[in-house]
Amino acid sequence: MLLSPHFSLAELCRSKTADLCNIQNRPEEIQIRALALLAKHILEPVRSAFRIPFTPTSAYRSSALNRMLGSSDHSQHVKGEAADIKLAGVSTFDLARWIRDNLVFDQLILECVTPGREQSGWVHCSFSAKQARGDVLTYARGEYIRGLVLTG
């Protein structure tokens, strides 16, 4: 089932950890609707701007899977509102900056970029029908910093 021209429900629910640990990772209708909005407002615009096919490394996570990954119960992944993205051949910082400057989003986090390795880490981006805070953070060495920051 396609949620948008280039993104299927299956790929937005795929998880190696869920497979390995035999955890159910099946969204309800409300999370499917959120994933479709995420695909329309974040994933498709990224794909057409960079013209690079990609599958998020993580999008929907059931509560059980999310806990297994050590993430907060309040994570927007559990609501189907967030995806972690990286693009082959594009610096993670540049991807985050493009989203910040071009898209309407709820929260954007540049995560775990290793100094000197520009394609390391990933971009966490959420879209919500209820709020568009435009919150921008960098997560590095276990702490959150406001804005997009290359640490090193």
Residue whose CB is less far from Zn ion, 38 or 90: 38
79 interacts with Zn ion by CB under 5 A: no
Amino acid at 31: Q
Contact call for residue 69 and Zn ion (CB under 5 A): no
Residue 124 engages Zn ion in binding (rule: CB under 5 A): yes
Part of the chain binding Zn ion (CB under 5 A), chosen from 8-16, 21-29, 83-91, 94-102: 83-91
Report, in Å, the least distance between residue 70 CB and Zn ion.
Answer: 12
Return the range that interacts with Zn ion (CB under 5 A); candidates 1-9, 12-20, 42-50, 82-90: 82-90
- Regarding 61 and contact with Zn ion (CB under 5 A), the answer is no
- Output the CA–CA distances (angstroms, integers) from residue 82 to 34, 49, 86, 114, in the order listed: 9, 19, 13, 22
Q: Contact between 84 and Zn ion (CB under 5 A)?
A: yes
Under the criterion CB under 5 A, does residue 57 sit at the interface with Zn ion? no
Least separation in angstroms between residue 84's CB and Zn ion is 4
Provide the minimum distance between the beta carbon of 143 and Zn ion in the complex, in angstroms, as a whole number. 16
Interface residues with Zn ion (CB under 5 A)?
Answer: 84, 124
